[in-house]
Homo-oligomer: A and B are copies of this chain.
């Protein structure tokens, strides 16, 4: 499903991304009045993707939602992959850009990560858009700017800042991806999480009766961990067990990384070359 950006006319897609009441022009043009516009189409695309997932995002689906055929969209948007780019940048606008750093960078970056997490849960399809050649829309830059503002002045060298941010981004993305996949798998396959796992456990036991000899460390971990997990399972039932575990792993991993960043910031600021980038 991963869609690559930047195939089409680069100039056209950039002008679509950065347009802002762009060049209203001379006014009346010949031909029938446009019944649609790019914003409406992008909105419909986002609605389809939010409701039915990326796999259900087809030109027909978007067109139908607007009472048109699939081909009608091509008047406004060069191709499906440009539409996805526009959808991506559109939803990115939901992310906050200001974080309070008065209590230090760490609570700020934690809040940022939590917001990103919530964002991905809201728009899971975003995780399916390729990151290789970023959309380079205004909101993509705004998101980056936000993090750079928080982490730019904590004593890391500029190259270090970039890499820490990349690592942070990918970590958040990765954990959010597992969580959304856990959540989506149930409706997609028609089998609830717990039931699926139970069924599989039985089958594993059946086909691999020597499991605990082949994977002793794993078996030991499972037995001790499942006790704790069961106790925990009684608590909430809004989200499935796997989804909650992903959330916990996200929190734990984030703290691990931020501990590392803290240490790096201390050692980096003594000696190593660094420019005072960011934080005006």
Contacts and interface: CB of A to CB of B under 8 A. Distances in A.
Interface of A: 1-2, 4, 6-7, 10-11, 14-15, 17-18, 128, 130-133, 136, 138, 141-142, 144-145, 148-149, 152, 158-164, 166-168, 170-171, 173-175, 177-178, 181-182, 184-185, 188-189, 191, 196, 199-200, 203-204, 206-208, 211, 214-218, 220-221, 224-225, 228-229, 242, 245-246, 248-250, 252-253, 255-261, 263-264, 275, 277-280
A10 B132 contact: no
Contacts of A181: 2, 130-132
A277 B152 contact: no
A162 B225 contact: yes
A109 to B, nearest CB: 13
User: Do most interface residues of chain A lie in helix, strand or loop, or is the interface mixed?
Assistant: helix
A168 B14 CA distance: 36
Interface centre among A132, A168, A216 (most CB of B within 10 A): A132
Given A199-B10, A280-B216, A261 B257 contact: no
B178 A218 contact: no
Given A138-B208, A170-B171, A188 B4 contact: yes
A128 B2 contact: yes
